[in-house]
Structure 1
Amino acid sequence: MAREIGVFKRPDSRFYWINVTLPNGKRLRQSAGTESREEAEAYLAKLTLDAYREAHFGIKPERSWQDAVVRYLELKASLRSFRDVQRICRQLHPYVGGLTLNQISGDVVWTIAQGELKRGNKPATVNRYLALIRNLLHMARDEWQWIDNFPKIRMLSGEVERDRWLTREEAERLIQVCPSHLAALVRFALATGLRAREITGLEWNRVDLSRRTAWLNQTKNGTPRGVPLNHDAVVVLQEQIGLHPQSCFTYRGKPIGWDVTNTAWHNAIKKAELEDFRFHDLRHTWASWHRQAGTSCDELKDLGGWKSRVMVDRYAKFATEHLQAAASRIEEGRGGNVVSLSRLRHGHK
């Protein structure tokens, strides 16, 4: 039986289907997504016109924000932060869900930023929305060739950088009040700087205690990497041997597959008398301790698995050894190159 051409109805679908070769040579066989023949024919007419303009005049067809989001999410599906990406896309839908990519102007971006600020979101949260828009439009222009340009998107000022970390005494206090399974997670995070999901997802087949190395196959940025294990990290892992054949960290004999910031975590934070402290702040603590101990920013970047120095430079303030010589130049009794201002004022008399 010959396949139908144009707009037709399939017996196994309530929608009309399209089967044509467009003016640009592209073969198209897909659902029109409608039960109305008139709407299906109108949709085909639009596709035909777009293809003709592209083939004969080099005019790119209009692409919708929704089409771009579908492809964007397919590309981001392997990220550990995929749920956050989905959530932000849903949050942006009321603003841009009905627009084409070419309709996303500077005014649209401004409306999104102001709308989210009025909803009570902080600049840091709004900047995550703007960053996703900018990243998606970059891909649509540079990789997919869907658009030729897009508006310049600047991040909002006023974002307060989180600077929460523990002293050694506070860290010990937290460990002491944690149940054993949670204490192991905390100690390992402080020893390695790994994120919560990287720790709970660690398996024995990716650990070599003799070489003091672990390998992560799923990280936040999607890039596998090796993690050197110091003595403290090795001790924690040795304590977990025999508890589970596959997973390194468990609770009551089962792998930890839930969010670690549950009731046990909040109770421990309260007992340790810590305020405004999240599990991810253990990573900040680890990095801060490293810089205070003299670890360079380049070494810290590699240890923490960051792709650039931008995220690492925030910890530069914790290392002051290279400024000691400069600070000592005006020590009392040394004088150095300090010139008396009173002598300068009255020297001409």
Structure 2
Amino acid sequence: MAQTQEGVYRRKDSRFWWIATTLPNGKRIRQSAGTENRQDAEALLAKIRLEAFREHHFGIKPQRTWQEAVVRYLTVKASLKSYRDVQRICRMLDPYLGSLTLNQINGDMIWFIVQERLKIGNTPATVNRYLALIRNLLKMARDEWQWIDSIPKIRLMPGEVERDRWLTREEAERLIKAAPEHLAALIRFALATGCRAREITGLEWNRVDLSRRTAWLNKTKNGTPRGVPLNKDAIAVLEAQIGKHAQYCFTYRGKPILWDLTNTAWGNAVKKAGIDDFRFHDLRHTWASWHRQAGTSCDELKDLGGWKSRNMVDRYAKFATENLAFAASRIESTRDSKVIPLSRICHVKQAADEGESDKSLNILAP
């Protein structure tokens, strides 16, 4: 087979011009120019040769665009459970960064994005999600892909309010009664185990052992399978689902639940129960809060909830005060006071006496 001549050329199986060249490092390029215009194809070839020459002889890396980086970033993140959220944030950032190279993304551009998003009403928490993605993508482009040598320092915004929404036992009972049968079962199981929505809807019977009171999750948020101990409440929910479906534990009208649980049925149940600002994921916060109020330690809660670190668990530490009860009782009015009576005059007199002593020492000093 004859070797393709270097330069631009046509192929019978394509309407586009193609380019062929050998770079200074010996790498051969054979690809479509993506254009039917010969001059545009020649311009692309010249650009590739120039960037390769500068990189090889002067160590100057070719200019990579934000859009190029996004394409590769999305490929890397394709297996994430939150992949749709990553896509959504990338689309939102495209009007700001889509026309820029990675080297053009600096502190001023980051500041501009922050101010624009705040003007349209985004909360600091929402803006931080955008900043975190930009920072993560740029770090990957620098450290893993070697596309750039440096990146701007991106700090997350202060003032992010941590969501602290959970139900009392009475509110939880109202919600369960207001929900349709299939949704009530999901709510009860979430409150009993702390499992996330997708972990519950994806639970299969071959991963449940009622005799050992254990379920094994293979579809977790962080991708790490884990076991879930089942208490009496969780066992009761699962026993009521036996026979409804051969594979999945939780179904609706005989079919697996494949949609987001925060839907119309959920909204109607929350409204009917008289509960405001409550999402399905807040059931997990409720479960964790109840555990800490009952005396479950943070380390136990970390293992029960499948968290990899204590950071997320420590937010619930405020609900457990039994370890401070004795300390709080030390100044109760009904107890014999052991507080040493001190007055401001005593402190002033003591300070004055110490000052006189210091003067005497200064006089005697050689």
State TM-score, norm by structure 2: 0.89
Say how many residue pairs are matched.
Answer: 348
Q: Partner letter of residue 70 of structure 2? A: V
What are the equivalent positions in structure 2 for 1:180-195 lying under 5 Å apart?
180-195=181-196
Q: What's 1:199 paired with? A: 200
Equivalent position SS for 1:20: strand
Using the TM superposition, give the Cα deviation of residue 142 of structure 1 relative to its aligned residue in structure 2, in angstroms.
1.6
Measured in 1, the distance between the counterparts of 2:2 and 2:206 equals 54
Tell me: CA distance 1:9–1:163, structure 2 relative to 1, closer, same or farther (3 Å). Answer: same
Q: What's 1:2 paired with? A: 2
Using the TM superposition, give the Cα deviation of residue 63 of structure 1 relative to its aligned residue in structure 2, in angstroms.
1.4
Measured in 2, the distance between the counterparts of 1:34 and 1:225 equals 51
Using the TM superposition, give the Cα deviation of residue 44 of structure 1 relative to its aligned residue in structure 2, in angstroms.
1.8
More displaced stretch, 290-299 vs 19-28 = 19-28
Using the TM superposition, give the Cα deviation of residue 309 of structure 1 relative to its aligned residue in structure 2, in angstroms.
1.9
Using the TM superposition, give the Cα deviation of residue 283 of structure 1 relative to its aligned residue in structure 2, in angstroms.
0.8
Q: Gapped runs of 5+ residues in structure 2?
A: 351-366
Equivalent position SS for 2:18: strand
Equivalent position SS for 1:56: helix
Measured in 2, the distance between the counterparts of 1:18 and 1:209 equals 64
Select the structure of larger CA radius of gyration: 2
Q: Partner letter of residue 91 of structure 1? A: M
Tell me: CA distance 1:318–1:22, structure 2 relative to 1, closer, same or farther (3 Å). Answer: same
Tell me: CA distance 1:228–1:33, structure 2 relative to 1, closer, same or farther (3 Å). Answer: farther
Equivalent position SS for 1:240: coil
Q: CA-to-partner distance for each residue in 1:158-178, whole Å, 9 max, x for gaps?
A: 221111100111111111111
Measured in 2, the distance between the counterparts of 1:205 and 1:22 equals 56
What are the equivalent positions in structure 2 for 1:28-43 lying under 5 Å apart?
28-43=29-44
- The percent identity for this pair of structures is 76
Measured in 1, the distance between the counterparts of 2:23 and 2:227 equals 49
Q: What's 2:66 paired with? A: 65
Measured in 1, the distance between the counterparts of 2:252 and 2:317 equals 37
More displaced stretch, 222-231 vs 106-115 = 222-231
8 A contact 1:117–1:126 mirrored in 2: yes
Q: Partner letter of residue 288 of structure 1? A: S
8 A contact 1:329–1:335 mirrored in 2: no
Q: CA-to-partner distance for each residue in 1:289-316, whole Å, 9 max, x for gaps?
A: 1111122222222222222222222111
Measured in 2, the distance between the counterparts of 1:218 and 1:19 equals 46
Measured in 1, the distance between the counterparts of 2:123 and 2:208 equals 40
State TM-score, norm by structure 1: 0.93
Q: CA-to-partner distance for each residue in 1:72-117, whole Å, 9 max, x for gaps?
A: 1111111111111100000000000111111110111111111111
Measured in 2, the distance between the counterparts of 1:163 and 1:7 equals 62
Q: CA-to-partner distance for each residue in 1:7-48, whole Å, 9 max, x for gaps?
A: 222333332222333222223232222222222222222222
More displaced stretch, 56-65 vs 132-141 = 56-65
CA RMSD of aligned residues (A): 2.0
Q: Gapped runs of 5+ residues in structure 1?
A: none
Tell me: CA distance 1:25–1:236, structure 2 relative to 1, closer, same or farther (3 Å). Answer: farther
Matched, 1:267 2:258: no
Measured in 2, the distance between the counterparts of 1:116 and 1:96 equals 14
Measured in 2, the distance between the counterparts of 1:45 and 1:310 equals 52
8 A contact 1:213–1:227 mirrored in 2: yes
Tell me: CA distance 1:290–1:3, structure 2 relative to 1, closer, same or farther (3 Å). Answer: farther
Tell me: CA distance 1:219–1:3, structure 2 relative to 1, closer, same or farther (3 Å). Answer: farther
Measured in 1, the distance between the counterparts of 2:338 and 2:27 equals 77
Q: What's 1:211 paired with? A: 212
Equivalent position SS for 2:31: strand
Q: Partner letter of residue 293 of structure 1? A: A
